[in-house]
Homo-oligomer: A and B are copies of this chain.
């Protein structure tokens, strides 16, 4: 249901939200999120345009979140790169459905609306709960593939 671009963007934001060592380079984020670096670079640009991440130049530079993780929702990230498409107009273009869609398209839109609500109520902070035995994007300590270490 969700595009790969949206999933990649969320991985990147979670990785940046997990990092406590300052800016992360595209390569560091790519290694941690397992997203191809070229693709990730475009995703990070879109996130920067949406005001969710900031690039910092120079030695020790890289990307950081532009806002606290408490202030960024899953929906913010999805909408920055590949917005959820609500059904707001009759897809058949019927003139008398212009102001009120038929039951079919109202119900289809309701399904998207409830999904939107779940994502709009979830902050990135909630995805970084250290007490969860399975931490977002992390593997268990000692695993050579481990990327994030918040401790």
Contacts and interface: CB of A to CB of B under 8 A. Distances in A.
A145 B140 CA distance: 62
A70 interface: no
A132 B103 contact: yes
Q: Which of A100, A115, A128 has the most CB of B within 10 A?
A: A115
Contact of A139 (B7, B91, B95, B129): B95
Interface stretch (A48-56, A59-67, A119-127): A119-127
Interface in A95-151: 95-97, 100-104, 107-108, 110-112, 114-119, 122, 126-129, 132-140, 143, 145
A101 B103 CA distance: 36
B104 A14 contact: yes
| Copies of the protein in its oligomer | 2
Contacts of A110: 118
**10 closest cross-chain pairs (CB), A and B:** A102-B136, A111-B115, A111-B118, A103-B127, A114-B114, A115-B115, A104-B136, A104-B127, A1-B112, A34-B92
